[in-house]
């Protein structure tokens, strides 16, 4: 069995609520312990270490431990019969063996009695049954009204152990409300726990990068999912505009990974994009991958950020662009209309459903969406080339948005209040 499983299953210690205030057996005080389940980017960005006075500790979901053990040693460990094991990582069960005072989950629900809160990007629970239902013109969750697995997860959200349900955007909050509306008996218990807390972001510069009168304008894209995030339209738009405005350069940092859920691309489309990038190296600087420190330095030495995405749960690269003093050309899908605007950048308005998701479920939807993005990019690039002063003006406004709306100190204050309410009422 893996080490975490042994440590949890064979430990002689057990968590007791009094330890949160009285300390260990010796009576010495200790920090309140906040459990987190992963070291992924999302957890580091929104949870781990965000409130200084708490002790953040990695905790383990016992069902995932049991599953990993059964795969290693065969059928000797009892693994409960789940309909879809892919949903396991969005449910948390530790039988109170992790010895923390509060668990802070991401996109997941807990079925235990230890107090917990959860942050989410789209909705929670993030099961296969709930994913995708915010897409298309007929979006909604009515068909899940009799789904027992979803109902059980929402019962956990409605239960006493769940203290707060934290959306990363108002758009995600609206989607969550749409989901719980299908379960009226649970809605009244979940609704008061809902709140929005946008991710924190430190300013990376004190002011936007100065643009010389004869200096080429440097546009930058950063993201692994190049096609989904508008890469194809970026290449088409820049090739078109460069015929009339040659004083622009494009920087692309992307692994060009295939991510077809919104754009349905395959290897052929990715290979075409790779060829265009390589054939235009005279004005495109292409990096398949760079350390994060070097990416941030590229951002800070650029002038305009690009995120003309077809679909995104949030848009973290947009925050990093703005924190670098860059105005951003983006679509207005999901949270992007909350973190970008026409005073601080350029918003491409695309066809969307009532929940803020772009329409891309049919071939015609995808054609119209792609063409809308391409035209929006061309218009924005032309506007920037004709009014170079707008880069500095909007860049300063973008940096101010970061200071006002994504202050790490304010994020910490809000999260501290959520934790205190969860722990002490």
Confirm if 166 and 197 have CB atoms less than 8 A apart.
yes
- DSSP assignment string, 178-198: HHHTT-HHHHHHHGGGEEE-P
Q: Do domains 3-200+407-424 and 217-405 have the same CATH topology?
A: yes
- DSSP assignment string, 230-286: THHHHHHHHHHHHTT---EEEEEE------TTTT---HHHHHHHHHHHHHTTTTEEE
Separation CA 290–CA 415 (nearest Å): 32
Separation CA 353–CA 359 (nearest Å): 7
* Bridge partners of residue 91, in order along the sequence: 109
Residue boundaries of the structural domains of the chain: 3-200+407-424, 217-405
The tokens for 26 are 């010796």
Distances from the Cα of 307 to the Cα of 35, 202, 291, 366, 368, angstroms: 33, 20, 20, 17, 18
List of residues 6+ apart from 228 with CB closer than 8 A: 259, 260, 261, 262, 263, 265, 309, 310, 311
The tokens for 66 are 């049991």
What stretch of H or E contains 305? strand 304-307
CATH 2.30.230 fits 3-200+407-424, yes or no: no
pLDDT, residue 262, reads 87
List of residues 6+ apart from 363 with CB closer than 8 A: none
| Tens-level pLDDT at each residue, the chain (425 residues) | 444 444 443 333 333 333 344 444 455 577 999 999 999 999 999 999 999 999 999 999 876 554 444 444 444 444 444 445 667 778 998 887 889 999 999 999 999 999 999 999 999 999 989 999 999 999 999 999 999 999 999 999 999 999 999 999 999 999 999 999 999 999 999 999 999 999 999 999 999 988 988 899 999 999 999 999 999 999 999 999 999 988 999 999 999 999 888 899 899 999 999 999 999 999 999 999 999 999 999 999 999 999 999 999 999 999 999 999 999 999 999 999 999 999 999 999 999 999 999 999 999 999 999 999 999 999 999 999 999 999 999 999 999 999 999 999 999 999 999 999 999 98
Among 131, 142, 126, residue whose Cα is nearest residue 184 = 142
Is the pTM of the predicted complex or chain greater than 0.75?
yes
Write down the CATH superfamily of domain 217-405.
Glycogen Phosphorylase B; (3.40.50.2000)
* Bridge partners of residue 167, in order along the sequence: 120, 196
Among 385, 253, 231, residue whose Cα is nearest residue 307 = 231
Strand order, beta sheet including 328-331: 284-287, 248-253, 217-222, 304-307, 328-331, 345-348
State the DSSP code for 88. G
């Amino acid at each position: 069995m893996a080490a975490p499983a042994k440590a949890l299953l064979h430990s002689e210690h057990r968590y007791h609520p009094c330890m949160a205030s009285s300390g260990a057996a010796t009576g010495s005080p200790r920090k309140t312990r906040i459990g987190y389940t992963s070291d992924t980017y999302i957890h580091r960005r929104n949870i781990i270490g965000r409130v200084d006075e708490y002790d953040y500790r990695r905790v383990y979901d016992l069902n995932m431990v049991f599953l990993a053990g059964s795969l290693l040693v065969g059928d000797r460990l009892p693994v409960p019969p789940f309909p879809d094991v892919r949903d396991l990582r969005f449910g948390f069960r530790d039988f109170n063996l992790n010895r923390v005072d509060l668990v802070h989950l991401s996109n997941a629900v807990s079925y235990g009695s230890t107090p917990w809160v959860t942050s989410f990007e789209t909705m929670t629970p993030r099961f296969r049954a709930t994913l995708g239902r915010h897409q298309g013109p007929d979006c909604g969750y009515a068909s899940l009204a009799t789904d027992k697995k979803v109902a059980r997860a929402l019962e956990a959200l409605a239960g006493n152990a769940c203290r707060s349900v934290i959306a990363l955007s108002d758009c995600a909050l609206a989607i969550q409300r749409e989901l719980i509306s299908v379960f009226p008996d649970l809605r009244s218990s979940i609704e008061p726990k809902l709140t929005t807390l946008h991710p924190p972001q430190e300013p990376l510069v004190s002011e936007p990068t100065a643009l010389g009168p004869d200096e080429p304008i440097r546009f930058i894209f950063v993201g692994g999912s190049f096609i989904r995030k508008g890469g194809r339209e970026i290449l088409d738009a820049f090739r078109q505009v460069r015929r009339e405005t040659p004083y622009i350069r494009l920087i692309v940092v992307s692994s060009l990974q295939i991510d077809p859920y919104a754009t349905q691309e395959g290897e052929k489309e990715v290979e075409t994009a790779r060829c265009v990038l390589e054939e235009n190296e005279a004005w495109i600087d292409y990096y398949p991958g760079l350390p994060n420190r070097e990416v941030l330095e590229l951002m800070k030495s650029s002038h305009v950020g690009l995120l003309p995405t077809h679909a995104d749960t949030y848009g973290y690269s947009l925050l990093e662009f703005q924190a670098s003093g860059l105005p951003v050309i983006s679509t207005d899908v999901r949270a992007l209309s909350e973190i970008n605007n026409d005073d601080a950048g350029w918003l491409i308005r695309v066809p969307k459903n009532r929940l803020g998701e772009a329409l891309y479920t049919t071939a015609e939807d995808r054609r119209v969406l792609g063409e809308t993005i391409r035209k929006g990019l061309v218009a924005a690039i032309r506007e920037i080339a004709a009014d170079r002063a707008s880069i500095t003006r909007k860049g300063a406004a973008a940096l101010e948005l970061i200071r006002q709306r994504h202050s790490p100190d304010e994020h910490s204050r809000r999260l501290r209040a959520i934790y205190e309410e969860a722990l002490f009422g």
